[in-house]
Chains A and B, each alone.
Chain A
Amino acid sequence: MTNNTHHTHEPLIQVSKRDDMTWYGSWAVRAIAIVLALAVCGIVTVLLTGLDPISVYVSMFEGNFGTSRRLWAMLKELSLLLCVSLAVTPAFKMKFWNIGAEGQTLVGALACSACMILLSGKIPSALLIPVMLVASVVAALVWAVVPAYFKAKFGTNETLFTLMMNYIAMQLVSFCIVFWENPKNSNTVGVINSDSMLGWLPSVGGQKYAMAVIVVALLTVIMYIYLRYSKQGYEISVVGESQNTARYVGINVKKVIIRTMAISGALCGVAGFLIVSGVDHSITTSSAGGMGFTAIMVSWLAKFNPLFMVLTSLLIVFLECGAGQIATAFDLNHSVADILTGIILFFIIGSEFFIGYKIRFRTKKKEA
């Protein structure tokens, strides 16, 4: 009799966490996601433009690898994005939500251009590039340590703080552009030292972007070793996982927060330096180009593993360069390319859900 009062309320879909997926299982899920994404993109392309989707994909590839010039342009974008991604990684691994990489990079770029403009010809040219690098690193480091200090000392919200620092950095650049205008009234800085090429990163093997690529490749390996094998990297993991545990084993949490953000900022400074000295030879308010935010996605998608970040940043850059190519090759509005990029990212980010969670649908049970 009492059995009648037994009710079960099983929901239609049950989502539960899982952490038992093998590495090949999770890569299989990701591969399926990409295939699905390409299929959906194909359908959307046909519906919107009537173009043959295969030729669109081919054009995407060509946009990245078609010519040596395109390849190097892609590598340049890749190395810059990867550099900023490496910068945000230690902070995010520590669960310090640094969304100020944009501003930190910009301030680094600003310091770099300031040195280029103000010091060229006044100090030996062999010294100029090291001075530019140090200035960029120090400026970005300060930009990152300020919010870290306030977080450690007063528990301020780092997300808001770093975000607002972005705007200050941008205004600072606008302000400086007024003084450095070239030509007058153009409201831009123009190419700095376009004749003397002072403070420009030298080209390697005839490739002007090669130096940036080499630097970032080295940084990737160093960051991987730092996070995986160094004591400081270990402390970052512990603080990120549980501040209580960190305190329990005697880690000075405040010190780790500030130190890690200093590293994060310094790397943003390197990125700023590479942008100005190695690539643009100029500065605008959009020199960082939103990379400070894209980098967060690169870092998360790679689960904070610097080696995987090569792949995830390649994916993002590939989509961007490819999108640009589609737009020009088929004379399309750039928005179509953006839609395709959006669909692909949606599937890839969405696949992470299926790797982390199990989905079970309600199975019909016979009533007893």
Chain B
Amino acid sequence: MSTNAAIELRNITKTFGSTVANKDVCLTANKGKILSVLGENGSGKTTLMNMISGIYYPDSGQIFIDGEEVVIRSPKDAFDYKIGMIHQHFKLVDVFSAAQNIVLGLEDDQGFDMKKYSKRISEISEQYGFDIDPGKKIYEMSVSEKQTVEIVKVLFRGADILILDEPTAVLTPQETQKLFAVLRRMRDAGKAIIIITHKLHEVLSLSDRVSVLRKGEYVGTIATADANETILTEMMVGKKVSLNIHRDEPKGMQERLVVSSINCINREGSTVLNDISFCAYSGEILGIAGIAGSGQRELLESIAGLQKLLDGSITYNDPKTGEAEDLRNKTPREIRDMGVRLSFVPEDRLGMGLVGNMDIVDNMMLRSYRKGKSMFVRRKEPKNLAEEIIERLGVVTPDSSTPVRRLSGGNVQKVLVGREISSSPTVLMAAYPVRGLDINSSYTIYNLLNEQKKKGVAVIFVGEDLDVLLELCDRIMVLSGGSVSGIVDARTATKEQIGLLMTKSREVHHD
């Protein structure tokens, strides 16, 4: 068997600062086989592949290629070992043609003969069934065509081990089928193929074996023939861990925010929100679960007035006046001027929620600086607020005039959450509020959310850790591919149930 292994990883460990991205990971990809690497976001799949392709260097562990131990220091080394990586974000020159991109950086002693290269490209295309026009410029291509160029590029350079990072994330179902056909042909030609994914049905229909990672740790490898969705989900999400997060019964629930049938497309024209409807009640925490990029960000931004929607409505029921108001396609300022007290802790803390180069006081003013008729800003109240938040949430900082960019991740988040709840909101949305935070800071945030819930705020919590979602939230809405795949009661739901909903693809119409 071991002679059949194209690449083997033994006990690979990689840490970034105090975060362990990969811990004792073992993998084997065989020649003429397709291996899936499965795992949730942040489980270390991409880090692992980056070590194979020479972008990162492992802290410890060994890599064997064809049974020989190797050291891969750079992408060039990886290429010398015939490893080809197709990244999620393509690395192509837009104004060059497909053929020019494919030969870019090639070192050829026999002179640069474009005709000869074009012929080889055509041969490769024919052999594996690619549909490619070597003369076409990249900027004229669809996403799927660009991906084809990337694949041909690594084949052209003689790669025998191909790594594809989430190759289907950007493809339509038809394009995915085409890609799979090509991958099977490459497999039959003896290539070792590794595909990184979190889509279970793709794993089952395409690969020969599956290796599962969870939170940077290697869980195990099984043959696809022995696997089904339930087994894989269990491996992926793991056993339930008790966190002892405090949870009260929701009280005085009223319909606060009613979202009905909203649709949204992104700049590239693909659907990011597909017919989403739900209701957020006052006095409860509604969790939102899903694989990253399933529409969580767009959904929250739509409510906050930062996304244009195609149709549908977002109705806000004002607790004071009892009036219903439509927030759809209103700007954040219009929403505030309507008297809607909506707070939003965005995922990108320093890129959206705060200004990194400004001090804590100036960041406190972001929401409120417009108040009053004077043309000058008042820094007195923001300063008091800053001092209060530093004191109450235990923000570690020299003083309130320190730029927030110098604070640690947890403290940045405390500043942001502190500001957002300081305006006594009626709706509080938080996207991944504990990402990158240590245990203590995480619990501080959970407590703050619980406090808001007690006050009758409708809290919407987007999270990635299912254990947290299950213990903190009252209900959990699961998003998959921009659609709601289910809304469950967090007190009774299981991790596996949510895991399955997360990976459930939208029903395809049968002929």
Which A residues form the contact surface with B (CB < 8 A)?
2-3, 5-7, 9, 19-20, 229-232, 234, 237-238, 241-242, 244-245, 247-252
In the complex, what residue of chain A is closest to B337 when comparing beta carbons? A250
Find the residue from A232, A241, A245 having the highest chain B CB count within 10 A: A245
- B335 vs chain A, min Cβ distance (A): 8
Q: Could you list 29 examples of A-B contacts with CB < 8 Å?
A: A2-B11, A2-B61, A2-B62, A6-B59, A19-B406, A230-B376, A230-B377, A231-B376, A234-B362, A234-B365, A234-B377, A237-B355, A237-B362, A238-B358, A241-B355, A241-B356, A241-B357, A241-B358, A242-B350, A242-B356, A244-B348, A244-B352, A245-B352, A245-B353, A248-B304, A250-B305, A250-B335, A252-B331, A252-B333
B180 touches A (CB below 8 Å): no
The listed residue (B73, B346, B348, B375) touching A230 by CB distance below 8 A is B375
Q: Which residues of B contact A229 (CB under 8 A)?
A: 376-377
Q: What separation, in Å, do the CA atoms of A5 and B365 have in the docked complex?
A: 53
Does B332 make an interface contact (CB < 8 A)?
A: yes
A-B pair count, CB < 8 Å, reads: 83
Q: Are B366 and A249 in contact (CB under 8 A)?
A: yes
Which residue of chain A has the shortest Cβ distance to B355 in the bound complex? A241
Judge if B81 is at the interface, Cβ distance under 8 Å.
no
The answer, among A5, A230, A232, A250, for a CB contact under 8 Å with B71, is A5
For B355, what are the chain A residues with a Cβ–Cβ distance below 8 Å? 237-238, 241-242, 245
Query: Interface readout for B336-349 with A: 1 if CB under 8 Å, 0 if not?
Result: 10000000101010
Query: 1/0 per position for B301-338, CB-CB distance to A under 8 A?
Result: 00011100000000000000000000000011111100
- Identify the B interface with A (CB < 8 A): 11, 57, 59-62, 69, 71, 73, 304-306, 331-336, 344, 346, 348, 350-358, 362, 365-367, 369-370, 374-377, 403, 405-406
Would you call A5 and B60 a contact (CB within 8 A)? yes
Contacts of A2 in B (CB 8 A): 11, 60-62
Shortest B220–chain A CB gap in Å is 22
Smallest CB gap from B59: residue in A: A6
The verdict on A248 contacting B353 (CB below 8 Å), with A7-B71, A230-B377 known, is yes
* Complexed CA–CA distance, A237 and B356 (Å): 11
CB distance from B321 to the nearest CB of A (A): 21
Measured between alpha carbons, how far is A19 from B356 in the docked complex, in Å? 12
Residue of chain A at shortest CB distance from B63: A5
Output the least CB separation between A94 and chain B (Å): 13
Q: How far is the CA of A20 from the CA of B405 in the complex (A)?
A: 12
Chain B residues whose C-beta falls within 8 Å of the C-beta of A19 in the assembled complex: 403, 405-406
CA distance A252 to B344 in the complex (A): 18
Are B375 and A231 interface neighbours, CB within 8 A? yes
Bound complex: CA A250 to CA B356 (Å) = 18
The answer to whether A234 and B369 touch across the interface, beta carbons within 8 angstroms, is yes
Q: Name A249's closest neighbour in chain B (CB-CB).
A: B366
B352 contacts A242, CB within 8 Å? yes
- Chain B residues near A9: list those with CB within 8 A: 57, 73
A242 touches B351 (CB 8 A): yes
Residue with the greatest number of chain B CB neighbours at <10 A, chosen from A19, A20, A232, A242: A242
Contacts of B375 in A (CB 8 A): 230-232
Residue in contact with A248 in the complex, picked from B73, B332, B362, B406, CB distance below 8 Å: B332
What residues of A have a CB within 8 angstroms of the CB of B362 in the complex?
A: 234, 237
Say whether B366 contacts A5, CB under 8 Å.
Answer: no
B358 touches A237 (CB 8 A): yes
Q: Is the CB of B376 within 8 A of A5?
A: no
Known contacts A5-B60, A231-B376, A234-B362; is-contact A248 B369 (Cβ 8 Å): no
Assuming A2-B62, A19-B406, is B370 touching A231 (CB within 8 A)? yes
Taking a contact as CB atoms closer than 8 A, the residue among B332, B376, B403 that contacts A249 in the complex is: B332
Nearest CB of chain A from residue B85's CB, rounded to whole Å: 20
A226 to chain B, nearest CB (A): 9
Minimum distance in angstroms from A228 CB to a CB of chain B: 9
Looking at the assembled complex, report how far the CB atom of B216 sits from the nearest CB atom of chain A, in whole angstroms.
19
Q: Which residues of A contact B336 (CB under 8 A)?
A: 250
- Of the listed residues A9, A19, A247, A252, the one surrounded by the most CB atoms of chain B closer than 10 A to its CB is A247
Give the complex CA separation of A58 and B489 in angstroms: 83
Q: How far is the CA of A250 from the CA of B367 in the complex (A)?
A: 8
Measured in the bound complex, the distance between the Cα atoms of B402 and A20 in whole Å is: 11
State in angstroms the CA–CA spacing of A234 and B365 once bound together. Answer: 9
Q: Check B358–A231 contact: CB distance below 8 A.
A: no
Q: Which residues of B contact A245 (CB under 8 A)?
A: 351-355, 366
Report whether A250 and B406 are in contact in the complex, using a CB–CB cutoff of 8 Å: no
